[in-house]
Structure 1
């Protein structure tokens, strides 16, 4: 009996070892690929960007143009569409650092880790660094700070995404040819301002004063040969052939980010503008690698702000259209890959109160993002404004109680707003249970989040969380090598595909 049991164990172990040494489907596809390889590679990452965010945007665009169904985003016209899993090494629901590292290096890591293994000891070389070392020009563009988790994952190697200063120093050391978009978080040292601070990671917390300031990381970048550009005039003066540019937007919103699309004013630069400028700087005979992050999709979804999220997806798609225009000039040499690091918010296209009905056109009534409305609420708090005064501000920003019946606030919705007012302005009985408070309001002002939820629900949209989810993410691709992105695989396969195609 013991002998038979031992033989069984040996057989099982042999089978396990056999499967462990077999290449996965992604490896097989890469090994068998014989197609033409690209010279120019665009890698678009929508932070927090899942299938629901994409489809909600298409439904919204159709609704505001008085059409039925959807109006397709440019990215959703790509011939290749696939799906992939996003889990981290130590957690099923990933974070932006672990997901960014998977998408930049082809390796799983632990939550919060940038460009290193899960033990936070071994650095992983990124596809951007490999492209640089092979003579490709390299660019990084983001709508959030350039040392935020996703862009950082392409040039930095740090045990924590919260080490903003050290990450920004790594940026200058990278010798990449172009950085553009947001600013730098904590360029003179981190202090203690971001430890376990969820709001800081989504641009809703300011920098605290720090002791023992270090040398400004942008000054260090200048010593590495970079030119810092931070005005619209200087941005427009950047031309083909310029090198080692860090272009920071003249107008920055919370978290050193570009203003949300819904809040942008005439003359403000967009993610598409930075993408186009990166193309002008990077284009050369050898080729280039350009990563563009639509980072504020994630921030809007953390805030359960459907309207702002949709506008950020539109901005992201407009940036992708710049790459498509380049593709049409170089169709045999250009690969465009569009993906997301994870989904945020648990966005659902349906709500129990609206049953099978949707009214996406209602979303057009919102005037500003939750972040801008929060700033208005702060002014009202200083005045100790009455509920009626606050309600008037809510009506104005979210378009409630207009001429259309669908905009009318019900008694139940008014009661929700009154409770939120009591919480926000510290009036009346408060929710003592912290978990219950978070489930209702997250890290956002109670009035803002309640108003945003009510508008979304009237449109037929629901939210399940203020955090990330583990739903598989779609990838779209076009150009030489794009067939590798067809199917169902893991996030680590995306950079492996790109690395093989670019011969890195």
Structure 2
């Protein structure tokens, strides 16, 4: 049987005729051309679809011109162990399940590295300046760079844009953290000058609209119960331009912030507001109460404005409890801050204004360890929160109570007072030793050091350890919350100088606030270059440890 010419060609036999070859090539070229068109169309459609999906899935960008509220929150001296201790203490005290966590726990996004320009271990001044100026500086520096030139702060940059501003703390308002957002001095001990700057006595003019905290001392002369080095009464001088609040009764008259006339100067205590464990509620408001007033007042003031507000909130005395190695005081300070943080969360979730809160620490204090080896034997894996619950006052409070005891010269009466009133009734310690009682007696006239004896008695029994009376270099947590999808997407980026998820330098927090608001710290820096910031008496009180716990912490 013979094959056709075409069949032979297909099977590798004889070639096709010239005519057949031309027909075959034409078909082949047409098929090739159609394939090219098909592939091109598919590629185009895939690209268009992918590009469209990318646009749909791309995180929204933050509009820096949109009205915003920026809430910067600082847990001074709180490290990760402080939060762990407070959480376990609360679970024990309130008989809660082990999965019952703090409000802060629910908003953890990252951690911050804390070193200053002068040391691996920062102080509060340099730590706060990193937030306010987005710049590293030396320990002791308040709003000044490493060369001691003033650096513009985020508070002032936002004030230039029309934001209202506020400061809420539980220490002196002239202390390091609030000072670094509202003043410029070479050394943090210059609190008299800090007070003047906060009231507007510098080239920028008044930048702060609301002040709530302690520190009346640096606004009054010694003749009026203050501690200024001059005779100025700043409260009297500014009484016609600022609404003044000086005690609990006047604070309550603010009606939760509804009866506020800005600017507001609220100096609730002469120095620091007492620890939460010692606070008399009829004399001093809690941090959460102060925060409510500030949020309401600033929100009302900006309701018809194109811009929102900037508010700094500090849980200041967590740090002091760390310096004092006082676990009973510290867990309660952390919980008081957590309550204030919860108020901020509620505010954000109910606000129709784009709002973000960022909470972090300037550093850790005390080198807290939630466990302690109390003998040469290998330790049990435990600690006792019930010991902290039994302790109902701070070591600082009790040390002064002993120092002020009217029968202190009678050793028998003093010993009985220490055993029964202090150790048993207030600290809940009944297994005290003669050596411990004697140690208290030896320091009875020295409350500044007696408090360490008392706090160690509590720490030992709770099996809580401390490694220093100062600060440590441990990384600290970053927490954040916002009602803005665009800001949330940016927060969730781990890229340096872009988001805050993951581990970041502390200066990135200041840079983040500057970027999302479109503000300019450099513009402020130009405006405040001529600010008086050096110590006036040239006595070089440039202390080796500018953060000494006996004075500024």
TM-score under structure 2 normalisation? 0.72
Which of 275, 281, 287 is 1:271 aligned to? 287
Aligned equivalent of 1:244, options 254, 260, 263: 263
- Structure 2: distance between partners of 1:60 and 1:458: 14
Question: 5+ unaligned residues in a row in structure 1: which ranges?
Answer: 1-31, 192-206, 402-407, 427-442
Are 1:319 and 2:340 matched, yes or no?
yes
Could you say which residue in structure 2 is the equivalent of 1:182?
Answer: 214
What is the aligned partner in structure 2 of residue 42 from structure 1? 71
Aligned residue number for residue 418 of structure 2: 390
Partner SS, residue 401 of structure 2: helix
- Please give the residue correspondences for 1:109-148 in structure 2 after superposition, counting only pairs within 5 Å: 109-120=137-148, 122-148=149-175
- Identify if the C-alpha distance between structure 1 residues 36 and 65 changes in structure 2 by more than 3 Å, giving closer, same or farther: farther
CA contact (8 A) 1:165 1:185 kept: no
Residue 367 (1) aligns with residue 392 (2): yes
Q: Tell me: CA distance 1:396–1:502, structure 2 relative to 1, closer, same or farther (3 Å).
A: same
Q: Please tell me whether residue 170 in structure 1 is matched to residue 197 in structure 2.
A: yes
Deviation at 1:151, TM superposition (A): 0.5
- What is the CA–CA distance in structure 2 between the aligned matches of 1:388 and 1:35, rounded to whole Å? 65
Deviation, 1:422, is: 2.7
| Pair member with larger Rg | 2
Assess, with a 3 A threshold, how the Cα gap between structure 1 residues 101 and 185 changes in structure 2: closer, same or farther.
farther
Alpha-carbon distance between aligned partners in 2 of 1:167 and 1:361, rounded to the nearest angstrom: 42
- In the TM superposition, residue 490 of structure 1 has moved relative to its aligned partner by 0.7
The equivalent of 1:157 in structure 2 is 184
- 2:469 counterpart of 1:466: yes
Give the drift of 1:452.
Answer: 1.6
**CA–CA distance in structure 2, aligned partners of residues 453 and 65 of structure 1:** 25
What residue in structure 1 maps to residue 314 of structure 2? 293
| RMSD after superposition | 2.5
> Does the residue aligned with 1:341 lie in a helix, a strand or coil?
coil
- The one of 56, 63, 87 aligned to 1:58: 87
TM-score (norm 1): 0.79
- Residue 391 of structure 1: CA displacement? 2.5
Separation (CA, whole Å) in 1 of partners of 2:192 and 2:397? 27
Q: 1:96 aligns with which of 119, 124, 133?
A: 124
Q: Are the aligned partners of 1:81 and 1:487 in contact in 2 as well (CA < 8 Å)?
A: yes
Aligned with residue 136 of structure 2, among 108, 123, 133: 108
Instruction: Specify which of 437, 444, 449 is matched with residue 445 of structure 1.
Output: 449
Farther off after superposition, 89-98 or 231-240: 231-240
Q: State the aligned residue count.
A: 424
Matches within 5 A, 1:70-81: 71-78=100-107, 80-81=108-109
Q: Deviation at 1:67?
A: 3.9
For structure 2, the 5+ residue unaligned runs are 1-58, 201-205, 493-498, 520-553
Report how far residue 291 of structure 1 moved.
0.5
SS of 1:279's partner is helix
Alpha-carbon shift at residue 114 of structure 1 (Å): 0.6
After superposing the two structures, state which structure 1 stretch, 124-133 or 380-389, moved more: 380-389
1:84–1:488 Cα contact (<8 Å) kept = yes
Runs of 4+ in structure 1 deviating by more than 6 angstroms, as ranges, are 207-211
Contact 1:177 1:245 (8 Å CA) reproduced: yes
User: Once structures 1 and 2 are overlaid, which stretch shifts more, 315-324 or 384-393?
Assistant: 384-393
Q: Please give the alpha-carbon distance, in whole angstroms, between the structure 1 residues aligned to 2:125 and 2:60.
A: 30
Structure 1 residues 325 and 235: alpha-carbon distance in aligned structure 2, compared to 1, 3 A threshold: same
